[in-house]
Amino acid sequence: MLSKRNMKSKELAEIIGITTANMSILKSGKAKAVRFSTLEAICKALDCQPADILEYVED
């Protein structure tokens, strides 16, 4: 989604107001939970739906 929007992780982190460290946690899938406010900010910044950025992967 980031490459489609021609956006870097650092830029997205700045727009949604999280640190690059937290952005890295989100991208690596190490995050235990995502706040609705963060999800909303990401969707707003990337102009997409939650389903576009969330994917279920079986362990």
Partner 1 sequence: MLSLNNNLYLMKTIEVLRKLINMYYYLLLFVLIGIVIFISIMIQQGEVADLKIIEDYDVSNISTLKFLALISVPTTIYILFVRAVYLLKETLKDLSEGNYFSELIIKNFKMIGRLILICGVSYAVYKFLARLVMLGDIRLGIDFSLITPIVVGLFFMFLSEVFAKARLAEQENNLTI
Binding interface with partner 1 (CB under 8 A): 18, 22, 25-26, 30-35, 38
- Distance in Å, CB of 18 to partner 1, minimum: 6
With respect to partner 1, which residue has the nearer C-beta, 6 or 46?
46
Answer yes or no: are the C-beta atoms of 2 and 42 closer than 8 Å.
no
Nearer to partner 1, 8 or 20 (CB): 20
Q: How far apart are CA 59 and CA 50, in angstroms?
A: 21
Provide the greatest CA pair distance for the chain. Answer: 32
Residue with tokens 């235990």: 32
If the CB atoms of residues 7 and 25 are measured against partner 1, the closer one turns out to be 25
